[in-house]
């Protein structure tokens, strides 16, 4: 049976590890000085060498022929051969994803760790995807990791460090693995091709490295699929490789941004509908578009693209550089915000492409933000906005006139409102004391409608009623701003009307108020109201 490339070319010596030097050098020094930690935690993305280095560590410390002061295993003794082939009983590899329960941990790890190594110097437990263990499983493992038996070493590997309890992390020597750079990935793939004696066209290895997103195992797996297409002369053309290698969607995003930059709504909408007809996922396209705009923004801020360009091909890199010079950063920020909202609207739209089309028209008409004029983008043909939207000068004048009339009407209404408000104090049929008497009822109503609102109201106090507006005092600006948000403000007005029976405006202010006394829990009030009774002090 044939072996996959990533298993066939898995490094068997420290010399074959050409990346993760910060991890490799530290562990080699520990082996050379015989200062091995009792527990390690390897963190990082998938397929970048965590398990490989764990096996090399296990092999080195158990090698029968390794000389003092050296870190490299001989690779020829019984111990090295059995560990390499996965037959050594003292090297226990466990997939935590399929052994999540506490019983598995007790039987396979805790109980097993109590026994001395059968043949080797150390018994090594390699637990992959350790974050998948349940809370009770972690608790069962904790004491053993804290004080392991003699000659027992734990190596934990995870792709999601935040899910590992801090009590476990603090008892391990932690190493953070990094993704492999595009240059190192291409060199690795060239080495494999030389061993397989296969020739490929220029650009294929770079495309594989880009598609793998820094994960060696993904790159080697993808290369294995491409190698199946080789001809009788052991050669692979770019056309053949494109049948396997996924095409970068950043090329489409780059084309789309070009149309946005020149405010060409017609071509932008045409591209969207072309994607729809091709069966493309518009949500995924919007995500790629947001990521592409993000790269333009970051390049404009840092001036360096290498850190953000791993998944870009050469053509897309040139476009990012060009757009960052010609599009104002403030405009990019507004575009990103607009397309984030558009992506959310795509889920509920009756017409799949409508939210994207609306966003294109909004950008083309210049309604997103006012920023400096764009310079000519040489790679995109210029086209006037009027032509792209098919609006004549006469129609544009009518639209402008209607907007002006609407604004005048809105301004007149605002003036009338101010005149009514300033005509004299409003006569109200209740005072501040009545509001304070009903304040707890308002809190109870708020608890049923909005738990977050009641938390804000608990730290505030009614201060004064003036011109039909209740002013609520807060010590901190955060609470004042939250109560003045439209959503919270409107809800509180309705709650006050329900509790008191009258309309009353609400606003939050900063005031020097004492720390509020702890009010009775809302749940207690509900019980008293349901069954009757009183709270006994």
Same domain, 268 and 233: no
pLDDT of residue 417: 45
Q: Which of 160, 176, 192 is the last residue of a domain?
A: 176
pLDDT of residue 191: 93
pLDDT of residue 53: 96
More reliable by pLDDT, 352 or 411: 352
> Does residue 408 lie in a domain region?
no
pLDDT of residue 380: 40
Return the residue matching tokens 């060409």: 264
SS3 176: strand
List, for residues 21-67, the tens digit of each pLDDT value: 999 999 999 999 999 999 999 999 999 999 999 999 999 999 999 99
Confidence class for position 317, pLDDT limits 50, 70, 90: confident
More reliable by pLDDT, 118 or 421: 118
List, for residues 82-134, the tens digit of each pLDDT value: 999 889 999 999 999 888 899 999 999 999 999 989 889 999 999 999 999 99
> Residue 249: what are its φ and ψ, rounded to 5°?
-80, -5
Same domain, 191 and 42: no
> Does residue 412 lie in a domain region?
no
Phi-psi region at 401: left, alpha or beta (left = phi > 0; alpha = psi -120 to 50): alpha
> Does residue 406 lie in a domain region?
no
Same domain, 137 and 226: no
pLDDT of residue 418: 43
End-to-end CA distance of the chain: 80
Number of domains in the chain: 4
Query: Which residue from 162, 91, 156, 101 is spatially nearest to 129, judged by alpha carbons?
Result: 156
> Does residue 43 lie in a domain region?
yes
Query: Which residue from 528, 326, 525, 355 is spatially nearest to 439, judged by alpha carbons?
Result: 525
Quick check: 260 pLDDT over 60? Answer: yes
> Does residue 372 lie in a domain region?
yes
Calculate mean pLDDT across residues 406-415. 52
> Does residue 426 lie in a domain region?
no
pLDDT of residue 397: 59
Same domain, 205 and 160: no
Calculate mean pLDDT across residues 397-422. 51
Q: Which positions ≥6 away from 93 have C-beta within 8 Å? A: 51, 86, 126, 128
Same domain, 207 and 229: yes
Confidence class for position 144, pLDDT limits 50, 70, 90: very high
More reliable by pLDDT, 307 or 210: 210
> Does residue 443 lie in a domain region?
yes
> Does residue 71 lie in a domain region?
yes
CATH of the domain at 376: 1.20.272.10
Calculate mean pLDDT across residues 472-482. 84
Same domain, 280 and 358: yes
Same domain, 12 and 148: yes
Same domain, 159 and 195: no
Quick check: 406 pLDDT over 60? Answer: no
pLDDT of residue 110: 92
Same domain, 363 and 341: yes
Q: Which of 241, 269, 287 is the last residue of a domain?
A: 241
Confidence class for position 482, pLDDT limits 50, 70, 90: confident
> How far out from the chain centre does Cα 347 lie?
19
Locate all alpha helices (DSSP H) within 242-392, ordered by sequence: 250-261, 265-277, 282-302, 314-326, 329-346, 354-364, 385-389
Same domain, 135 and 283: no
Same domain, 80 and 57: yes
Same domain, 223 and 148: no
Quick check: 137 pLDDT over 80? Answer: yes
Q: Which of 192, 218, 241 is the last residue of a domain?
A: 241
> What is the pTM assigned to this prediction?
0.58
CATH of the domain at 472: 3.30.300.180
Lowest mean pLDDT among 41-45, 94-98, 220-224, 452-456: 452-456
CATH of the domain at 221: 1.10.8.60
Quick check: 76 pLDDT over 70? Answer: yes
CATH of the domain at 126: 3.40.50.300
Calculate mean pLDDT across residues 189-194. 93
Structure tokens at 408: 């005048």
List, for residues 342-392, the tens digit of each pLDDT value: 998 888 888 889 999 999 998 988 754 434 443 444 344 334 434 444 455
Range of the domain at 131: 5-176
């Amino acid at each position: 049976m044939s072996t996959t490339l990533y298993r066939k070319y898995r490094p068997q010596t420290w010399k074959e590890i050409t990346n993760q030097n910060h991890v490799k050098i530290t562990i080699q020094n520990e082996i050379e000085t015989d200062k091995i930690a009792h527990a390690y935690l390897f963190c990082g993305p998938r397929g970048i060498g965590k398990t490989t280095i764990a096996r090399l560590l296990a092999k080195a410390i158990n090698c029968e022929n390794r000389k003092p002061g050296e870190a490299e295993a001989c690779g020829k003794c019984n111990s090295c051969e059995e560990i390499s082939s996965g037959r050594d009983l003292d090297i226990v590899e466990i997939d935590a994803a399929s052994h999540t329960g506490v019983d598995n941990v007790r039987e396979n790890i805790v109980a097993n760790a109590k026994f001395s190594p059968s043949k080797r110097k150390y018994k090594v437990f390699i637990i992959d995807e350790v974050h998948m263990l349940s809370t009770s499983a972690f608790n069962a493992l904790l004491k053993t990791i804290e004080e392991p038996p003699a000659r027992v070493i734990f190596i934990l590997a995870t792709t999601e460090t935040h899910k590992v309890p801090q009590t476990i992390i603090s008892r391990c020597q932690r190493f953070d693995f990094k993704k492999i750079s595009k240059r190192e990935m291409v060199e690795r793939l060239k080495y494999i091709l030389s061993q397989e004696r296969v020739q490929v066209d220029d650009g294929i290895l770079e495309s594989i490295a880009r598609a793998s997103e820094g994960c060696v195992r993904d790159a080697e797996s993808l290369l294995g699929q491409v190698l199946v297409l080789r001809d009788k002369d052991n050669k692979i053309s770019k056309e053949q490789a494109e049948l396997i290698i996924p095409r970068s969607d950043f090329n489409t995003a780059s084309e789309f941004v070009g149309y946005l930059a020149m405010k060409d709504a017609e071509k932008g909408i045409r591209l969207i509908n072309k994607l729809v007809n091709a069966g493309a996922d518009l949500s995924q396209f919007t995500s790629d578009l947001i990521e592409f705009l993000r790269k333009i923004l970051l390049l404009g801020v840092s001036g360096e693209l290498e850190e953000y360009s791993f998944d870009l091909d050469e053509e897309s890199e040139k476009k990012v550089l060009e757009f960052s010079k010609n599009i104002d950063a403030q405009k990019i920020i507004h575009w990103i915000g607009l397309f984030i909202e558009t992506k959310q609207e795509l889920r509920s739209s009756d017409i799949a492409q409508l939210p994207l089309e609306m966003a294109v028209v909004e950008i083309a008409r210049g309604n997103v933000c006012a920023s400096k004029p764009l310079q000519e983008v040489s790679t995109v043909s210029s086209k006037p906005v009027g032509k792209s939207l098919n609006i004549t000068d006469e129609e544009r004048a009518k639209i402008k006139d209607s907007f002006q009339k609407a604004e005048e009407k809105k301004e007149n209404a605002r003036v009338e409102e101010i005149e009514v408000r300033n005509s004299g104090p409003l006569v109200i049929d209740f005072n501040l004391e009545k509001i304070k008497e009903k304040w707890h009822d308002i809190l109870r109503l708020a608890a049923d409608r909005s738990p977050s609102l009641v938390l804000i109201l608990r730290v505030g106090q009614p201060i004064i009623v003036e011109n039909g507006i209740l002013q609520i005092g807060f010590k901190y600006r955060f609470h004042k701003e939250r109560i003045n948000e439209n959503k919270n403000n409107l809800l509180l007005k309705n709650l006050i009307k329900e509790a008191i029976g009258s309309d009353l405006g609400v606003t939050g202010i900063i005031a020097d108020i004492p720390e509020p006394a702890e009010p009775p829990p809302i749940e207690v009030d509900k019980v008293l109201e349901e069954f009757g009774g009183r709270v006994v002090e």
